[in-house]
Amino acid sequence: MSRVLLISTNLATAPYAVYPLGMALVARSLTDSGHQVEQFDLLAAENNQAALKEMISGLKPDFICFSLRNIDNTDSLSGDEGWYLETARKTIAEIRALSSAPTIIGGPAFSLMPEAILDYLAADYGIAGEGEEALPRLLSEINSGSRPPAISQGRKPLTGKEFAKPLFHPEILKFYQQQSGIANLQSKRGCPHHCHYCTYPGLEGHHFRRRPAAAVVDDIEHLTKTYDVRTIFFVDSVFNDNQGHHLAIAEEILNRSLKINWSAFFRPAGLDSKTLKLLQRSGLSALESGSDAITAETLEGLGKDFSLEDILTTHNLCRKLKLPIAHYLIFGGPQETPATLSQGLKNLDKLSGGVLFLFSGLRILPGTNLYQRSLKEGVITPATSLLRPTYYFSPMINNEAMNLEISAACKGRRLRLFPPGEALERMQVMQRFGFKGLLWDQLVQPS
């Protein structure tokens, strides 16, 4: 079997450092296949270039694999600072000078544009999609002397029971506990919803594939008892679903009497007081809502299958239960007009007491309905490279004037965070003062 070095390339720390869960999943799969695996995190390693050189020298890897978490930060106002592929390219070039081992790229960012990213990063191979089965198979093919294609992918979508169990690295986990206090878990993959800008269905499929609730809580128990983890964020596309998987997880946590704080990204519909109380008893400490818009017209423009009334109902239930809630809201998307902008900014008052993360424009990515709309409206052409961020703004609105109106609506409002870069800076200041966790929930004053 082979010696394999896995490297997480993510260096972003805003709003907080995020444990490289994908690397942990692939590490488990490779280890179970008999490979000798080492995990290296560029963010977690002190003096990372020297430490990486020492690891390569000691391990003498047969393969070096890189995980790409994000292409950019999806903030239209951040400029080149929000684009991450150049840093990854330099890292791979530096490592090529240290080792002749084949280089392999994977991760969610790579899977968005595998051919273009593989070419830009000048790596040998790539894994598009789930790596648990595809990467061990690719290594076996290379070792057998065959000539696999430059880009491989899983032969079939894995079922929830087939998902690898994370192989957490103690030192890397310790770093993230010191930095953010949060560990990540995934309870399912896929998304059955049809938001026009979203890449989750393309990356993970159009149906939920759920891990058994007991297996999810096994991981929680392992993290709490082995590493004293006290806060978990579920990285599912949407945590609540119509089959009650989220409720089964909550009940399993309660059955085992685990003491854990957890949070997740929720769809702001289908939630009632009974459900939220059960989730709270199991440890739900804050709720992030993918509301995305706050007028009927712009919700329709984004392809949302819930209403403004759903958003407000969810918000008011959380406020009543003293459950911190944050809404992510996008202005300037399809069907935005001066009238919807004005109404949307007025409607922000209906979300009082919640933290509002406001964004301007939508990142255009292949495989989405927004991509097709952008082609039809002439925003892009089939030849447009999307490696560097290109944003969609409604042709019915002036985005610069819109940004000024959003800024004015946020002035003096502590819980309205815009532009995104300034919001992240505020939370990083909180980190420097020793705050940990989601951070935004600590902005909310108890009612």
Report the alpha-carbon distance of residue 2 to residue 165 in Å, rounded. Answer: 21
- 231-234 and 3-8 as β-strands: parallel, antiparallel, unpaired? unpaired
pLDDT digits (tens, 9 = 90+) for 142-169: 999 999 999 999 989 999 999 999 999 9
pLDDT digits (tens, 9 = 90+) for 246-289: 999 999 999 999 999 999 999 999 999 999 999 999 999 999 99
Residues near 20 by beta carbon (within 8 Å), at least 6 away in sequence:
8, 10, 41, 67, 69, 172
* pLDDT-derived band at 320, boundaries 50, 70, 90: very high
Q: Identify the pLDDT of residue 90.
A: 94
Q: Identify the pLDDT of residue 446.
A: 53
Q: What is the mean pLDDT of residues 177-201?
A: 96
| Stated pTM of the model | 0.96
Q: Identify the pLDDT of residue 434.
A: 84
Q: Identify the pLDDT of residue 447.
A: 46
Q: Identify the pLDDT of residue 347.
A: 98
Q: Kindly state the tokens that stand for 28.
A: 């488990």
- Going by C-alpha positions, the residue among 325, 226, 316 that lies closest to residue 273 is 316
Q: Identify the pLDDT of residue 429.
A: 83
Are 331 and 408 in contact, with CB atoms under 8 Å apart? no
- Going by C-alpha positions, the residue among 364, 366, 302, 309 that lies closest to residue 328 is 302
Q: Identify the pLDDT of residue 48.
A: 82
Q: In residues, how long is the chain? A: 447
* pLDDT-derived band at 384, boundaries 50, 70, 90: very high
- Answer yes or no: is pLDDT of 445 > 90: no
Could you give the strand order of the β-sheet that contains 3-8, starting from the edge strand earlier in sequence? 36-41, 3-8, 63-67, 103-106, 125-128, 151-153
User: pLDDT exceeding 90 applies to what percent of the chain?
Assistant: 89
Q: Identify the pLDDT of residue 216.
A: 98
pLDDT digits (tens, 9 = 90+) for 13-68: 777 789 999 999 999 999 999 999 999 999 999 888 899 999 999 999 999 999 99
pLDDT digits (tens, 9 = 90+) for 362-380: 999 999 999 999 999 999 9
Q: Kindly state the tokens that stand for 3.
A: 């010696």
Query: Which superfamily, per CATH, for 3-153?
Result: Cobalamin-binding domain (3.40.50.280)
User: pLDDT exceeding 70 applies to what percent of the chain?
Assistant: 99
CATH number, domain 180-443, options 3.90.600.10, 3.30.1490.190, 3.80.30.20, 2.40.50.100: 3.80.30.20
User: What Rg value do the Cα atoms of the chain yield, rounded?
Assistant: 22
Q: Identify the pLDDT of residue 118.
A: 98
- Going by C-alpha positions, the residue among 440, 436, 405, 444 that lies closest to residue 423 is 440
The identity of residue 77, as a single letter, is L
Omega before 389 within 30 of 0, i.e. cis:
no
Residues near 404 by beta carbon (within 8 Å), at least 6 away in sequence:
none
- When the pLDDT of each residue in the chain is averaged and rounded to a whole number, the result is 95
pLDDT digits (tens, 9 = 90+) for 224-258: 999 999 999 999 999 999 999 999 999 999 999 99
* pLDDT-derived band at 431, boundaries 50, 70, 90: confident
Q: How many CB atoms lie within 10 A of CB 36?
A: 14
Domain ranges of the chain: 3-153, 180-443
